[in-house]
A and B are shown apart, each in its own frame.
Chain A
Amino acid sequence: MAIGINKVVEVLSKSADIITASKDQLEQLDSSSGDGDLGISMKRGADAIKAVLSASGAENDIGGLLIKCAMAFNKEAPSTLGTLLSSALLAAGKETRGRSEMSESEVVKLAGIMTKSIMDRGKAALGDKTILDAMIPMSETMSSSFEQGKSLAESAKAAAAAASAGAESTKELVAKAGRAKWIGERTNGFLDGGAVLCSIVINHLAKE
């Protein structure tokens, strides 16, 4: 089944709502190993995406819309995680530029492209205690489930479970990237905010 721009708008809008609703939870996580601004900066970014969406009535270009969201998000949330998430939106936007719809297999592929863009931009890998610890298992599971013939909805559910497990695994990891790296061992026992954010968003989206 083809996925049109209306569906993309709906997913972006829901993701923004989920991020906003998770503000306090993120803030709490970040104050244990970061500078405590994760919740507020992510909410600002989410608000910026909502503003782009509400002004995009006649927009028919999925990629163009995603690029606009990427830039708006980065402007309002110029933190490291904000820039990484904007990179992912930008990569997805470049892939779908000029298109008004995409196939389900392309949606699955986009998850991988977004994950790779974060790896490239942040120069981090699995196990570094970053958003990637949720995002890599998420996109890999999404792709393998879909290839095994499961539906997009079922694949998303499997991906969400993988993201949850990945986010939970950051508790035992020592930070090797980003600002948390400077306090290394002391991040042990705390969850990574970015990984938790990824897990929350995909779990909510998969439920619907």
Chain B
Amino acid sequence: MKKILNENESFVDESLEGILTAHGDMLRACGGDIRAVFRADAPVKDKVAIVTGGGYGHLPVFLGYVGKGLADGVAVGNVFTSPSCDTIINVTKQVDGGKGVLYLFGNYVGDGMNFDMAGEIVGLDGIETRIVKASDDIASAPRESWQQRRGVAGLFFAYKTAGAKAEQLADLSEVQRVAEKTVERTATMGIAMSSCWVPGAGRPIFEISEDDIEIGMGIHGEPGVERIKLETSKEIAQRIVPKLVEDLGLNDKSRVSVLVNGLGSTTREELYILYRDVDQLLKSYGIRTVKVFVGEYATSLEMAGASVSILDLDDELEGLLDAPACSPFIKL
């Protein structure tokens, strides 16, 4: 796989150096730990801080959601690998504004352990932390055990609502409640069309032939539901949308926000075709769409494919979704 880089080993750090140099007015790194990145005005006094993190290779997830109205800090790991507990501790101490810290990240084992342990350690210094994990990938577990699901693009909605709630100076329990509510009411399903290569790896993270697509594949190549021949956008929407509608129990009184997300190398032109077909299906159920996002919100290096996420809105979540948010990667 052709990639623009210098050394495979410096892929993450040099990419971070570029981001920090380009956007130094908005983002900074903790002294001595370039993997601990925070918004330039942190700590924000009297505000609950939100810290996120995970493996690199998913931009704008996770670092791209550090900014006003979103998260306060991020711990960056190696490609597709959990950040170290040490980096999480560094960024937590940096962004804590005295009102506690919400750890908001995707549901993966390594990340869970390291955030868990970091929370325990900063707790010794009197910093209160809570954990909310996005678990929105409906292909990875049934609704009854939705908390076991993997976290994918739907994490975007939780950043947005919890970030807006924190910006209103709500307390830690309230910010946690909003994040949990958002995660529970979010469902995502994706399709992968081509694989991706971790820099320096001798093979792609999974194999898929030129004319196949995999339904429900995870963003690190975790096996999906089924592998089928390439279909039209309409057929793909037909495979995804009814499953999301059923999962969330949506009906003709529902109001939703829709996110059509590109996984890395699928064009925006294609994403809008898929959105068109998703929208027509939602209309056929009588579901009202009030807020639409189409673009790259959670990627997997150069993987081709897309995911569709739906957030089942209520008045509170709709209001929070409307609030302003700004990072070098996201402006709403």
CA distance A187 to B82 in the complex (A): 23
Q: A67-B124, A71-B121, A78-B114 known; A83 and B85 CB under 8 Å?
A: yes
CA distance A78 to B113 in the complex (A): 10
Complex: chain A residue closest to B84, CB-CB: A78
B86 touches A178 (CB 8 A): no
CB distance from A186 to the nearest CB of B (A): 15
A121 touches B86 (CB 8 A): no
Contacting chain B: which of A50-58, A84-92, A132-140, A162-170? A84-92
Give a binary string over B105-126; 1 marks a CB under 8 Å from any A CB, 0 the rest.
0000110011011001100100
Interface centre among A74, A78, A86, A121 (most CB of B within 10 A): A78
CA distance A94 to B117 in the complex (A): 13
Interface SS of chain B? helix
Complex: chain A residue closest to B85, CB-CB: A74
Q: A75-B84, A75-B86, A78-B114 known; A178 and B109 CB under 8 Å?
A: yes
Q: A75-B84, A75-B86, A78-B85 known; A90 and B121 CB under 8 Å?
A: yes
- B residues within 8 A CB of A178? 109
- B residues within 8 A CB of A70? 121
Sorting the interface of chain A by its residue count into under 10, 10 to 19, 20 to 34 or 35 or more gives: 10 to 19
CA distance A75 to B86 in the complex (A): 6
- B residues within 8 A CB of A86? 85, 117
CB distance from B121 to the nearest CB of A (A): 7
B117 touches A121 (CB 8 A): yes
CA distance A123 to B86 in the complex (A): 21
Instruction: Count chain B residues whose beta carbon lies closer than 8 angstroms to a beta carbon of A.
Output: 14
Q: A71-B121, A90-B121, A121-B116 known; A80 and B109 CB under 8 Å?
A: yes
- A residues within 8 A CB of B114? 78, 83
Give a binary string over A107-124; 1 marks a CB under 8 Å from any B CB, 0 the rest.
000000000000001110
Q: A67-B124, A178-B109 known; A83 and B86 CB under 8 Å?
A: no
A121 touches B113 (CB 8 A): yes
CB distance from A53 to the nearest CB of B (A): 19
CA distance A98 to B84 in the complex (A): 27
CA distance A16 to B237 in the complex (A): 56
B124 touches A80 (CB 8 A): no
Q: A67-B124, A90-B121 known; A122 and B86 CB under 8 Å?
A: no
CA distance A86 to B113 in the complex (A): 11
- B residues within 8 A CB of A84? 113
Interface residue ranges of B66-90 to A (CB < 8 Å) = 82, 84-86, 89
Interface centre among B82, B110, B113 (most CB of A within 10 A): B113
A78 touches B86 (CB 8 A): yes
- A residues within 8 A CB of B82? 78
Complex: chain B residue closest to A78, CB-CB: B84
- A residues within 8 A CB of B110? 80, 83
Give a binary string over A4-19; 1 marks a CB under 8 Å from any B CB, 0 the rest.
0000000000000000
A87 touches B84 (CB 8 A): no
B120 touches A83 (CB 8 A): no
Give a binary string over A61-72; 1 marks a CB under 8 Å from any B CB, 0 the rest.
000000100110
CA distance A36 to B114 in the complex (A): 21
CA distance A83 to B113 in the complex (A): 7
- B residues within 8 A CB of A80? 109-110, 113
- B residues within 8 A CB of A94? 124
- A residues within 8 A CB of B116? 121
Task: Taking A75-B85, A123-B109 as given, write out 17 further A-B residue pairs in contact, using a Cβ cutoff of 8 Å, ordered by the A residue number.
Answer: A67-B124, A70-B121, A71-B85, A71-B89, A74-B84, A74-B85, A74-B86, A78-B82, A78-B114, A83-B110, A83-B113, A84-B113, A87-B113, A94-B124, A121-B117, A122-B113, A178-B109
B contact set with A: CB distance below 8 Å: 82, 84-86, 89, 109-110, 113-114, 116-117, 120-121, 124
A contact set with B: CB distance below 8 Å: 67, 70-71, 74-75, 78, 80, 83-84, 86-87, 90, 94, 121-123, 178
A-B contacts, 13 listed (Cβ < 8 Å): A70-B121, A71-B85, A74-B117, A78-B84, A78-B86, A80-B109, A80-B113, A83-B114, A83-B117, A86-B85, A90-B120, A121-B113, A121-B116
